[in-house]
A and B are shown apart, each in its own frame.
Chain A
Amino acid sequence: MSAVSVRDITVAFEAVRVFNGLSLDFEEGEFIVLLGPSGCGKSTLLNAIAGLLDISEGQIWIGGQNVTWEEPKDRGIAMVFQSYALYPRMSVRENMSFGLRMAKTPEPEIERRVNQAAELLQISHLLDRRPDQLSGGQRQRVAIGRALVRDAAVFLFDEPLSNLDAQLRNELRVEIKRLHARLGKTTMIYVTHDQIEAMTLADKIVVMKEQRIQQVGSPSEIYRRPANMFVAGFVGSPQMNFIKGKIENSGSGPIFVSGQRRLPLHGYEFTGAPISGQEAVLGVRPEHLEVVEVGAWPGFRVDIIEPMGADTVIWCSDNDGSLQVRTSGNTRTSLGEQLALGIDAAQVSLFDSQSGERL
């Protein structure tokens, strides 16, 4: 039995129909991240699961029950929003207990749950303040606290960290991960456009684009074996290098050829049998290129050097175009320097140049 199951749903916005029979299953205790650029439908999907948006076709199951027609409060969910959405005229304590008071929970029980959640999030000293007396990070903690006291089986996060500055974002990200580990069996569904958040938090990532699911997989699968060029380009920073060329069969196996550049593809796992002469795009992550004395691809010139502390990104080009190479932060190079690049064929991705699908 899966914790959350979305079955063949379609959402109609007046004349526009989105999803057209989208299905997804999430296991109990999983941390799922819905990842995609803005407008890809990830928030719409989350709102549909929450019951804040009516679906026109299909079913939604939570905890083994068909909740398609249930009100949001009866779905056993809790939700955290990007804008915190704290009730401005209530104290932190009242904010956190609002849902329990609505559900007519006995007073001592409310007290106990609020205090427990506040302690967990280290906001006990803020309980009597109003939201406008809190900083952004504190507000989001309160919002998470308000979700926690509901004791829900499923947590929904709608870009909860997007309004925070970089440092707080990192801090709260770790906190959310810790919370998930501590709550054990709680399923979390988290919407974001930030691939770092997706990679660091998720057990399973769902990459979406234009209301369609592009790939579902573990962060490592998404990163190492992207299903298509969109996923490959969207995940990873600096971006994956794409090189247009074609596949040729030689005596010793398939070879990728692009102008002067040639790459024997032994070690690459094709999804189907490679066709000689097929137009293809080679995807290489910057860290899978390496600067060597004598290498497969000689004749590169250094254009730009971006030191990032732990590592350095070198932009270098030959007559066929420019590539980004991620090297150790200790690397010493200077502009205009000539160098050769080495590639491990087992680490690359190959895509059909027409459909963009992985070969």
Chain B
Amino acid sequence: MTAVVPQGRRPKHITIGRIGIYVFLISAALFFLLPLWIMVVTSLKPMEEIRLGNILALPSMLTFDAWSKAWSSACTGLECNGISVGFWNSVRILIPSVILSIAAGAINGYALSLWRVRGANLMFGILLLGAFIPYQVFLYPLVRIFSMTGIYNSLLCIVIVHVIFGLPTMTLLFRNYYAGLPIELFKAARIDGGGFWTIFFRVMLPMSTPMIVVAAILQVTGIWNDFIFGLTFAGRENLPMTVQLNNIVHSTQGERAYNVDMAATMLAALVPLAVYFVSGRWFIRGIAAGAVKG
């Protein structure tokens, strides 16, 4: 036997443990990818092919009819304008809600972490407590308050709701981020004569890009996926995509159009999906920063 002199890179050995890890990882990946696969292939098949029941098979007759139908002519109850109406409603809700909730969270976090506001810890504690109370508890009181002020069932109403419920998480996120910055930076800015807003806009905000990205990811996915607030507060004119998707899937006349349902669902999932793909790295950072939101 020739003795091998250890030198250079250490040789890699395939062990049973390693094979086990790969088997587990691959099967877990398949498990989570399977629904996506079924949805994509089903949405690309005509109904005749779906009736055959081979749900895993690739479409033999590729067609995008279901997608265009889902987008522009599927019926949500009595109206048949497709899910596009809901899509644009969701966009109209999303943009102001995301911008306002991030702005409010950043200002809140900045004030709580850097300015010694009297009772800051107590206020922050109460705010966080709000994050742990189930949303359902708020629904009825909020409906009453909004209908008294006369803005119930409007775009403004749903945006306000999203900003309020985004506040605890957004504040936590920015408070922790600003508390992690060297306090001397803030002191230097005060000696240089910056006031509350000047320091925020000229020193702190330019440094907050990573947190703004994380906050945007959390809020975009959270608000886009929201169902119950949209259903309760947005009013019939502004129902978000999730609510309309539900209506499409449940308003069937005669045969259930699986391909249209699947296409509509894919369309509704497109925005969060795109956000996850584009920003996976940042998203994980957001979770690590202590803001986990379902």
Contact = CB atoms under 8 A, between A and B. Distances in A.
Contacts of B182: 83, 85
Interface stretch (B134-142, B157-165, B190-198): B190-198
Nearest to B198: A102
B138 to A, nearest CB: 34
A79 B188 CA distance: 7
Contacts of A79: 187-188, 191
B188 A103 contact: no
Contacts of A88: 207
Interface stretch (A70-78, A114-122, A203-211, A253-261): A70-78
B191 A72 contact: yes
Contact of B193 (A73, A146, A158): A73
B198 A81 contact: no
B203 A87 contact: yes
B187 A85 contact: yes
Nearest to A89: B206
Interface string A37-66: 000000000010010100000000000000
Contact of A102 (B184, B192, B206): B192
Contacts, number: 58
B185 interface: yes
A82 interface: yes
Interface string B149-193: 000000000000000000000000000000000101101111111
Contact of B184 (A71, A72, A83): A83
A99 interface: yes
A99 B206 contact: no
Given A88-B207, A102-B198, A52 B193 contact: no
Q: By CB atoms of chain A within 10 A, which of B188, B194, B198, B207 has the most? A: B188
A85 B185 contact: yes
B190 to A, nearest CB: 5
A47 B186 CA distance: 13
B195 to A, nearest CB: 9
Contacts of B203: 87
A81 B187 contact: yes
29 contacts: A47-B187, A52-B190, A52-B191, A72-B187, A73-B190, A73-B192, A77-B191, A79-B188, A81-B184, A81-B188, A83-B182, A83-B184, A83-B185, A85-B182, A85-B184, A85-B185, A85-B187, A86-B188, A87-B189, A87-B202, A87-B203, A98-B192, A98-B194, A99-B192, A99-B193, A102-B198, A146-B192, A150-B192, A158-B184
Closest 5 CB pairs of A and B: A99-B192, A73-B193, A102-B193, A89-B206, A85-B184
Given A50-B191, A71-B193, A73-B193, 5 more contacts: A72-B187, A77-B191, A79-B187, A82-B184, A89-B207
Interface of B: 182, 184-185, 187-194, 198, 202-203, 206-207
Interface of A: 47, 50, 52, 71-73, 77-79, 81-89, 98-99, 102-103, 146, 150, 158
